[in-house]
Amino acid sequence: MSKAGNPQSVRVMGSSSTMKEWAAAISLTIGAAAVGYLAYRTLYSKDKCRKSLVNLDIQKDTPKVVHAFDVEDLGDKAVYCRCWRSKRFPMCDGSHTKHNEETGDNVGPLIIKKREA
């Protein structure tokens, strides 16, 4: 028994604390450490930029997907895909409509047309 006569009292370096006080202090310390770790992981994680891919399956064997077109070859109007879901990529086939419905995104095509004279 401690000096105070309480069987649940613990004496450490001249102070007397109950087991409930120790449990509360340890729980608070563990909770603060967990919150700190999660905050650190969220803010400084190197993988957070790689969580989702935009291009799921187009030319995955190349390091970068690039398409170039001559302006003279475009005709009066060209419609290019920006959602990466088109079966005719890089041209748009309207797949962005389904993509937007499924994901809540708002992506649309890139439309290039000649100015009317």
Type of residue found at 69: F
- Which one is catalytic: 51, 64, 77, 87? 64
The pLDDT of residue 3 is above 80 = no
Query: Measured between alpha carbons, how far is 81 from 78 in angstroms, rounded to an integer?
Result: 10
**Residue 77: how many CB atoms within 10 A of its CB?**
9
pLDDT averaged over the chain? 84
Q: What is the pLDDT of residue 47?
A: 60
46 is catalytic: no
The pLDDT of residue 8 is above 70 = no
Query: Measured between alpha carbons, how far is 97 from 89 in angstroms, rounded to an integer?
Result: 15
User: Are 46 and 57 found together in one domain?
Assistant: no
User: Are 37 and 69 found together in one domain?
Assistant: no
The pLDDT of residue 9 is above 60 = no
User: Are 42 and 58 found together in one domain?
Assistant: no
Q: SS3 letters for the chain? A: CCCCCCCCEEEECCEEEEHHHHHHHHHHHHHHHHHHHHHHHHHHCCCHHHCCCCCCCCCCCCCCCCCCCCHHHCCCEEEECCCCCCCCCCECCCHHHHHHHHHCCCCCCEEEECCCC
**Average pLDDT in the 3-11 region?**
55
Confidence of residue 20 (pLDDT cuts 50, 70, 90): confident
What are the pLDDT digits (tens) for 33-85? 999 999 888 887 766 555 678 888 899 999 999 999 998 888 899 999 999 99
Q: What is the pLDDT of residue 116?
A: 79
| Domain count for the chain | 2
Q: What is the pLDDT of residue 17?
A: 75
Q: What is the pLDDT of residue 2?
A: 47
Question: Is residue 7 in some structural domain?
Answer: no
